[in-house]
Amino acid sequence: MSLEIKVPPVGESISEVTLSQWKKKDGDYVEMDEVIAELESDKATFELTASVAGTLKITAAEGDTLEIGAVVCSIEEGAGSQAPEASAAPAPAEVTASADQAESSSKPESTDSAKTLEIKVPPVGESITEVTLSKWLVKDGESVEMDQQIAELESDKATFELTAEIAGIVKQIAEEGATLAIGAVVCAITSGAAGSSSPKPETAKEQATADKSPNYASGTPSPSAGKILSEKGVDPASVAGTGVAGRITKEDAVNAQKSVPQPGVKKPEPVAAPAVVVSGSRNERRVKMTSLRKTIAKRLIAVKSETAMLTTFNEVDMKPVMDLRTKYKDKFKEKHGVGLGFMSFFTKAVSEALKEFPSVNARIENDEIVYSDFADVSIAVSAPKGLVVPVIRNADAMSLAEIEKSVLGLALKARDNKLTIEEMTGGTFTITNGGIFGSMMSTPIINAPQSAILGMHNIVERPIALNGEVVIRPIMYIALSYDHRIIDGKESVSFLVRVKQLLEDPARLLLGV
């Protein structure tokens, strides 16, 4: 019987893939679940496995672009006598399988209470269809407790922790760096009597070591590891795999070094005119983009192409705010337990200005303009894994102390990658502070679907004319990028002038005038 192997669904928005590499040749005998090819989409690389054991007949060629559901190859299921004729390699696998069956048949009395539970990728957000397994927190074969953290999952918006639903022994199924759809199996946990489950990890490791040479996975790199080895020019045969059944993992590939020829008789170099000599290292590195970085890139490009974005500038004399902050910062911290920074003044000033210019706080949805009677201010934060934008809810109703506490709490969560989806969605206006990195002036990009973003910059002492005299004042340039489809030039300039007035006379923030 011949079974057709087709391109599986690999994501909601993916309609076609590229057959990047065949792992087996036409006519090879393959085992069930053996990796036979690599498929590559615009988002990730996937492995195609054999659904049955049999003889492989290749239909598509390497480099072909295939639609979801297209036939890639077929596998001719044969009688038991076909396996040894095709290859001698499957024989040890059959022996192992028989041994496993014999072992399982000899254990029912002691493992009646044992059960295996598959741990799957949980739903993590309405718009999230796939995640990346960024890090395993436990080893394969390790014993875990219920609710223990076993892995970290990373989406294009946040990082999540996967926990054990039962106590038992972990069997890793997905590798670090793998892109998984919601509901995909990450690992399995086997629970049972302590006497029967505790020695299992060592037995599994010993068996994996014993079967390493005949197993098809031994010495085979994962897709990400294969790309890294290819870029380094390292032969996979020279790399010792530490993955399941000797498979070469991404970490193995990163740590692999290109073999250096042994020193021997050095051939004399011909004397010729010297070529152009370039001093210093000429190495290059290729690092796969994270889901977060890819999403940021797509969203920024979409904003540039889908909005009529432009930027207006103004300058703020920061001396009044700085004087007020210097005078009361110690008492402020003593009373509220948090420092008094510039972000609270800007957030408060923006919240007041948004009340006067509601279109700056609005957004476009289809053919309608949605006006918000509240100010949910997003604060752009540079986190270890990229730019995130947590939201301060109802900032217009907060005091300076409440805003400072919210900013500090969100910044700490961003640093530790603990922000939730809810904390990063739903903002109506964004503030970004490039000044902490030394930026003098910039044109920030709108955080869609919002219509405007305020850019803060560094504070520099500059000479200005004040009351007919030249004085030195701490000046900050501020920038407002806005969508001209919804915000007119008069409104944008007036909004920025209002923010300037409130900051240069901070008493207005307290009096609401």
| Span 89-121, pLDDT tens digits | 444 444 444 444 444 444 444 444 578 888 888
In one letter, which amino acid is 220?
Answer: T
Instruction: Determine contact, residues 445/434, Cβ cutoff 8 Å.
Output: no
Residue 159: closest CA among 120, 133, 177? 133
Selected residue with higher pLDDT from 24 and 279: 24
Q: Which residue has the tokens 């209002």?
A: 498
* Cα–Cα distance measured from residue 120 to residue 183, given in angstroms and rounded to the nearest whole number: 5
Q: Which residue has the tokens 């005998």?
A: 29
Q: Out of 11-15, 16-20, 187-191, 382-386, which region has the weakest mean confidence (pLDDT)?
A: 11-15
**246 Cβ contact partners less than 8 Å away, ≥ 6 residues apart:** 208, 212, 215, 217, 218, 219, 240
* Cα–Cα distance measured from residue 414 to residue 399, given in angstroms and rounded to the nearest whole number: 23
Q: What is the mean pLDDT of the chain?
A: 80
* Cα–Cα distance measured from residue 483 to residue 451, given in angstroms and rounded to the nearest whole number: 5
Q: What is the average pLDDT across 333-360?
A: 93
Position 101 scores a pLDDT of 45
In whole angstroms, how far apart are CA 413 and each of 13, 358, 379, 406? 31, 30, 13, 11
Selected residue with higher pLDDT from 238 and 315: 315
Is pLDDT of 263 > 60?
no
Query: What is the band of 290 on the pLDDT scale with cuts at 50, 70, 90?
Result: confident
* Cα–Cα distance measured from residue 298 to residue 294, given in angstroms and rounded to the nearest whole number: 6
Position 197 scores a pLDDT of 42
Position 198 scores a pLDDT of 43
Question: In the chain, helix, strand, coil percent, each to 5?
Answer: 30, 25, 40
Omega into 449 within 30° of 0, i.e. cis? yes
> What pLDDT digit, counting tens, does each position of 397-445 carry?
999 999 999 999 998 888 888 888 888 888 999 999 988 888 899 999 9
* Cα–Cα distance measured from residue 59 to residue 303, given in angstroms and rounded to the nearest whole number: 42
Q: Out of 127-136, 231-240, 251-260, 471-480, which region has the weakest mean confidence (pLDDT)?
A: 251-260
Q: Return the domain boundaries, the chain.
A: 2-87, 223-255, 301-511
Instruction: Determine contact, residues 455/443, Cβ cutoff 8 Å.
Output: yes
Position 87 scores a pLDDT of 41
Query: What is the band of 262 on the pLDDT scale with cuts at 50, 70, 90?
Result: low
Position 204 scores a pLDDT of 45
In whole angstroms, how far apart are CA 231 and each of 7, 22, 121, 291? 27, 18, 31, 21
Among the options 33, 112, 416, 484, which is catalytic?
484
In one letter, which amino acid is 239?
Answer: V
Segments in 175-318 forming alpha helices (H): 194-197, 200-210, 223-232, 250-255, 291-306
Domain 2-87 matches domain 223-255 at the CATH topology level = no
Query: What is the band of 275 on the pLDDT scale with cuts at 50, 70, 90?
Result: low
Q: What is the average pLDDT across 341-351?
A: 93
The fraction of the chain above a pLDDT of 70, given in percent, is 78
Query: What is the band of 49 on the pLDDT scale with cuts at 50, 70, 90?
Result: confident
65 forms beta bridges with: 18
Most confident of 33-42, 123-132, 469-478: 469-478
Residue 14: closest CA among 33, 40, 50? 40
* Cα–Cα distance measured from residue 457 to residue 342, given in angstroms and rounded to the nearest whole number: 11
Report the SS3 class of residue 511: helix
Position 443 scores a pLDDT of 93
* Cα–Cα distance measured from residue 126 to residue 468, given in angstroms and rounded to the nearest whole number: 59
Q: What is the average pLDDT across 284-305?
A: 82
Query: What is the band of 259 on the pLDDT scale with cuts at 50, 70, 90?
Result: low
- Kindly provide the residue ranges of all beta strands, DSSP E only, lying in 326-380, ordered along the sequence: 363-365, 368-370, 377-379
Instruction: Indicate the class that CATH gives domain 301-511.
Output: alpha beta
Report the SS3 class of residue 432: strand
The fraction of the chain above a pLDDT of 90, given in percent, is 32
467 forms beta bridges with: none
484 is catalytic: yes
Is pLDDT of 166 > 60?
yes
Query: What is the band of 196 on the pLDDT scale with cuts at 50, 70, 90?
Result: very low
Query: What is the band of 177 on the pLDDT scale with cuts at 50, 70, 90?
Result: confident
DSSP per residue, 4-51: EEEPPP--TT--EEEEEEESS-TT-EE-TT-EEEEEE-SS-EEEEE-S
330 is catalytic: no
**441 Cβ contact partners less than 8 Å away, ≥ 6 residues apart:** 313, 457, 477, 479
Domain 2-87 sits in CATH 2.40.50.100 = yes
CATH of domain 223-255: 4.10.320.10
What pTM did the predictor assign?
0.52
Phi/psi at 183 (5° precision): 95, -5
